[in-house]
Structure 1
Amino acid sequence: MARELKRIAYVEDEPDIRAVVELVLTTLGGVELDVSTDGAEALRRIPAFGPDLILLDVMMPGMHGPEVFRRLREMPGCAVIPVVFMTAKAQRQECDSYLDLGAAAVIPKPFDPMTLYDQLCRIWDGAGA
């Protein structure tokens, strides 16, 4: 039986989106959430937090999501953590490029806050967690 999804690292620079996701995942999902507001902060925080899953925005100032993903894959302990990209640029070609990098899934923005936790659980289960 698969473990329950309980620890998520979330990386998002937009405060309004971040607030909605934080509320949904902690209140409806009951998860322990570690939030970073940019890629550099995520690279510092995620290895110590040890999440079950990483929810990663694509377009951020400084270091974009795919670069954060590549760097996480080079870190001991982070290489196997499933990563889900969230993006407003969800054209098929772009989504395919994120999946080709090794992402577990891509969630387009806008997303349905009421189903986000369940969606992440399905992705996590499918990633072999």
Structure 2
Amino acid sequence: MEDKKRKEKDEEKEEMMKMEEFYALLRRFRDARDRRRKELEELEKSEKKRKVPTEEQSGWVPSFEWEDFTNEVEFRGQPLRFTTPSTASPSPRLTLKKRKNDQHHLHDNSLDLNLAL
């Protein structure tokens, strides 16, 4: 009889120890999870601080050399001609003729974009 009681007590103690181990394991798991969450939050905060620069930085910084300005530039078309204003205005007939001549000259040098069927 005493052996049965002793066995029951031993079994109860053993079961209590198993339960304590189980709860200790759960506590350690929760602690580890909480620590990892805090580490990730701190990491995100530090990355956000690093990503927010005080002023925008350009990825490209232009640099010029003297050769950039010494090369001769070749134009595709004729340069525009600006006339200086004079006190005496030319006759309307001459300006109209000149305008037509300029338009004809521009038409010869331009690309024909009209579609023909």
Query: TM-score, normalised to structure 2's length?
Result: 0.15
Structure number with larger C-alpha Rg = 2
> Which structure's residues are more often strand, by fraction?
1
